[in-house]
Structure 1
Amino acid sequence: MAGEPLITVVGNLVADPEPRVSQAGKSWVTFRIASTPRIRDRQSGDWSDGEPLWLGCRAYGEYADNIAASLMKGSRVMVQGRLTQRSYTDNQGQQRTSLDLEVEEIGPSLRFATAQVARNSDRGQAGGFGAPSQGGFGGQSAGGMNEWAQTPPEGAGGGAQGGSQMDSYYGSGSQGGFDDEQPF
């Protein structure tokens, strides 16, 4: 429906995504996330876990395939979608209501992890952020590293070791798109 607000939830997957196929042959995936707030006791100054929010999530089509191939139990994710409510009868015959999220966008949280983004091979460069010859995001730099990668490929320099592989992320050695000066 049009006009429904999107909400964003940051949480952890409580189980591996469950890929499924409809009777019509369409892919879809379900998964659950738990988002637990941290609460500070004003008197003692200690932090503790608050009451977790459990949300079932659903995605469809190629999006579902990407989620099933990329995420696993324990992954910290940011999910944006439309909140839905459904009623059902549980195994004991009790009427229950659950909140579910129809996924619009999802991505890994980089607060405690790194990620490397790879474009689907059947998508090519179309619809992306620019082809390598244009120096846009998502292309291969002269150093051979995907420019939106968060970690260098195996065997590449970077971090404390240094090396031109990581320099291409900041622009030196890329085929355009970034200034030669590092931002910091």
Structure 2
Amino acid sequence: MAGDTTITVIGNLTVDPELRFTPSGAAVCNFTVASTPRAFDKQTNDWVDQETLFMRCSVWREAAENVAESLTKGTRVIVQGRLKARSYETKEGERRTSTELEVDEIGPSMKYATAKVTRKQPGNGQNTAQGGYQPQGGGNTRPQSSGPSQGQPWGQQQASYDWGAGNDQEPPY
């Protein structure tokens, strides 16, 4: 959205992500990322940890379920999202504001780890407005395939053009 403050935070999950569901059935996953910047101290000729930022994060819907299933405490992650300020009142009547990151994208950092990605079919009958291209009808649309075939990681169909057949037609590009 225009005017939103978008940031990227790289750090470690402080606890296992907590998955909950709203009364309407929407999944929400909450977690905290600890990000500690480092600076080089010329006097000691060593790297020194700076003050740690603890960023409270929330992610919604299918992505929330994926996060809860895939990430655990201590995992180094890259989180991108929009800063949101929430105002609330304490039991004592004091007005407070907290800042949290409404996550758009999250993934494990590959700097010190490896990961095996398992693609899920979008939607599973639910609204998939969170990320990904969704055709809106009208125009030229093709029916969705049932998923990528073996050896075709991007789900593209194999071209049926035989380059050695001596055909006079143009190549398929």
Q: Name the TM tier (shorter chain).
A: 0.5 to 0.7
* Residues 122, 4 of structure 1: alpha-carbon distance in 2 compared, 3 angstrom cutoff: closer
2:85 maps to 85
Rounded to whole Å, the distance in 2 between the matches of 1:10 and 1:136 is 28
Task: Kindly state the Cα deviation for residue 42 of structure 1 after the two structures are TM-superposed.
Answer: 1.6
- How many Å separate the matches in 1 of 2:59 and 2:51? 26
Question: Residues of 2 paired with 1:93 and 1:39: CA distance?
Answer: 40
The 1:104/1:132 distance shift into structure 2, 3 A limit, reads same
Work out which structure has the larger RCO, using CA pairs closer than 8 Å and 6 or more positions apart in sequence: 2
The residue type paired with residue 74 of structure 1 is G
Distance 2:110 2:155 in 1: 18
Aligned to 2:143: none
**TM-score of the superposition, structure 1-length normalised?**
0.64
**Partner residue, 1:9:** 9
Task: State whether structure 2 residue 49 is matched by structure 1 residue 49.
Answer: yes
* Long gaps (5+) in structure 1: 140-174, 177-184
CA distance in 1, matches of 2:40, 2:97: 30
Q: CA RMSD, aligned part only?
A: 3.1
More helix by share: 1
2:63 is paired with a residue whose SS is: helix
- 1:40 deviates by 1.3
CA deviation after TM superposition for structure 1 residue 25, in Å: 1.4
Q: Tell me which structure has the larger Cα radius of gyration.
A: 2
Q: Are residues 90 and 115 of structure 1, via their aligned partners in 2, closer, same or farther at CA, if it must alter by over 3 Å?
A: farther
CA distance in 2, matches of 1:116, 1:110: 11
Is residue 131 of structure 1 aligned with residue 148 of structure 2? yes
SS at match of 1:64: helix
Distance in 1 between the 2:89 and 2:3 partners?
30
Deviates more, 1:82-91 or 1:10-19: 82-91
Code of the residue aligned with 1:66 in structure 2: it is: N
Q: Which runs of 5+ in 2 are unaligned?
A: 125-131, 134-146, 160-173
Partner of 1:111: 111
In 1, Cα distance between the equivalents of 2:23 and 2:123? 26
What's the counterpart of residue 70 of structure 1?
A: 70
Whole-angstrom CA distance in 2 between matches of 1:57 and 1:75: 15
Identity within the alignment, %: 48
Q: Tell me, in whole angstroms, the C-alpha distance in 1 between the residues paired with 2:118 and 2:39.
A: 37
Instruction: Return the offset for 1:29.
Output: 0.7
Distance 1:69 1:50, change over 3 A: same
Seen in structure 2, the aligned counterparts of structure 1 residues 79 and 66 have a Cα distance that, compared at 3 Å, is same
Superposed CA offset, 1:70-96 (max 9, x none): 001101000000011223345777654
The secondary structure found in structure 2 opposite 1:83 is strand
Please name the residue that 2:171 is paired with.
none
Report deviation, 1:62.
0.6
Once superposed, which parts of structure 1, at least 4 consecutive aligned residues long, lie more than 4 Å away? 89-95, 121-124, 136-139
